[in-house]
Amino acid sequence: MSEQSRLYPNGHLLADLDWVERNRSREDVVLLDARGSGYEEGHISGARPFDQGRLKDSSSRSIVSAETFRDLMESAGIGDNSTVLVYDDGKGPAAARVLYVMEYFGFRDKVKLLNGGYAAWVAAGKPIDAVSPETVRGRLTNVCAQDGLITTKRDIQSGILDGILLDVRSEEEYKGENKRHNRHGGHIRGAVNLEWTEALDRDPASGVFSFKSYPELLRSFQRLNVAADKTIVPYCQLNSRGAHTYFALRLLGFPDIRPYEGSWEEWGNAEDTEVV
């Protein structure tokens, strides 16, 4: 664990390059490459490709069933005793999406995200591989959804949440100036806006994005009164950016984070929701 990672209350969730080099050959460590493309051209040696889009049930706009999740994880070589390291291109939403869904199904504190992702690995001159490793199917015996880690449309509409709705999309999306492909533009009444990228810093020399230091990251949320004693409900369009904010808040030690899985894909296209 890097010195900076030690400063976060949950710094064990954030791996650096040294951790990967020291641990990637361990039998109990599984590396997942969650990039959308480029795996065949090169990846961290030992990493297996993983399509994070398969974790979403497109028909219900929710997370896949426990049975589907188990099959996906076991096919990637993940078992009960596995430690998972996941990375994407660098900014982290795809990797964070994998981490969030794995924690939702009970893998809390067993998944790490590579700070800076593949971009950091390449920028540091680390070796890459174009060969896919042989994968031995894993075995999971205890996959159980954690209802306290998710928010539904009904939860928001019923007013049962005593917390903060955190819209992590761009300011243009939040204001309704960019509707994307949705029927309605805007945000959920009462939601505050903090774009997910506010959690990141960009190194001017390498161009690599990494998480802000603990004090800087904490201030980003505190200035909007996003506090650890509240229930925090991040949302975006599909809950990839929302999952990234889930991860940032987990790093900070926030105990009650419940992303709205349906996000604007659901809220902004429904006939029974209020849009501001």
**Domains (range + CATH), the chain:** 3-123 (3.40.250.10), 147-267 (3.40.250.10)
Distance, CA of 218 to CA of 216 (rounded, Å): 5
From 88, 75, 78, 94, select the one nearest 33 (Cα to Cα). Answer: 88
pLDDT at 60: 85
* Residue whose tokens read 């589907």: 68
pLDDT tens for residues 110-155? 999 999 999 999 999 999 999 999 999 999 999 999 999 999 999 9
Counting as low any pLDDT under 50, the low residues of the chain are 1
Per annotation, catalytic residue among 236, 243, 248, 257: 236
pLDDT at 159: 81
pLDDT at 258: 97
Q: Are 128 and 121 in contact (CB under 8 A)?
A: yes
Is-catalytic flag, 236? yes
pLDDT at 1: 47
